[in-house]
Amino acid sequence: MLTLQCSCYGTNHFWGEQETSHDEGYGTCPSCSKMQLQKANDILDDVIILIESKLQAEKLKIFSNRTLESKRNFAISAIDKGLITYSFN
Ligand SMILES: [Zn+2]
């Protein structure tokens, strides 16, 4: 564990592990990580609503029985495959 500086706000210091995705001494603090995860999940939940609106009744019934995690993974897969594009307004 090291003292790291949050790369989101720059002034937030926290204890954490150095990750290769950040420059040395920098990271994403737990508060910012939680906020980023919430934003990502909000986007995925919007994509799930879009997917559900396009499914025929029989497939919608099957999709609706999936867990939220499974629906979010399906949404990620659809975005990764380029089946759905998402833009920020
Ligand atoms: Zn932060």
CB atoms within 10 A of CB 78: 18
Check residue 80 and give its pLDDT: 94
- Bin 59: left if φ > 0, else alpha if -120 < ψ < 50, else beta: alpha
Sorted by where each begins, the domain ranges of the chain are 2-80
How many A from CA of 76 to the centre of ligand 1?
Answer: 25
Q: Which residues pair with 5 in a beta bridge?
A: 13, 26
- Rounded CA gap, 89 and 86, in Å? 10
47, 79 Cβ separation under 8 angstroms: yes
Q: Residue holding tokens 């380029």? A: 82
pTM above the 0.85 mark?
no
What tens digit of pLDDT does each residue of 40-73 get? 999 999 999 999 999 999 999 999 999 999 999 9
How many A from CA of 9 to the centre of ligand 1?
Answer: 6
Check residue 86 and give its pLDDT: 74
Check residue 85 and give its pLDDT: 83
Average pLDDT over residues 3-21: 83
How many A from CA of 19 to the centre of ligand 1?
Answer: 14
